[in-house]
Amino acid sequence: MSFTVQKLNEGTGPTVPPGTKVKVHYTGKLTNGTVFDSSHNRGQPLEFNVGAGMVIRGWDEGITQLQKGQKAILTCPPDYAYGARGIPGVIPADATLIFEVEVVDF
């Protein structure tokens, strides 16, 4: 499986530039549909600097293709996610992850 960005709607303005602080709402799922994390459950979006290695590679590369208000599904194979290490008890080793993301602001 390869890394993909499936855009679900149109956003506004430019795409998110690398190095920018962005706010993203997301739900992360395993390929079997199991939800392992969601910013919606916490009631606030995740903030991070795009391209700074603060998040997985799939996010650093995928978020730069999106505009403010845009929603997308990021399919992140292991080399774009947590790889062979996974996250013990949460994400299995070599897992492909599916993220439903929305760029709230940047």
106 as an active site residue: the answer is: no
Task: Select which of 56, 63, 91, 98 is catalytic.
Answer: 56
Task: Select which of 26, 48, 80, 106 is catalytic.
Answer: 26
Pick the closest to residue 24 from 13, 38, 14 (CA basis). 38
Q: Label the pairing between strands 21-30 and 46-49.
A: antiparallel
Task: Select which of 48, 82, 98, 106 is catalytic.
Answer: 82
Task: Select which of 48, 80, 99, 106 is catalytic.
Answer: 99
Task: Select which of 3, 37, 73, 94 is catalytic.
Answer: 37
60 as an active site residue: the answer is: no
Which stretches does DSSP call E strand in the chain? 4-7, 12-15, 21-30, 35-38, 46-49, 67-68, 71-76, 97-105
Task: Select which of 36, 73, 79, 94 is catalytic.
Answer: 36
37 as an active site residue: the answer is: yes
56 as an active site residue: the answer is: yes
Catalytic machinery residues: 26, 36-37, 56, 82, 99
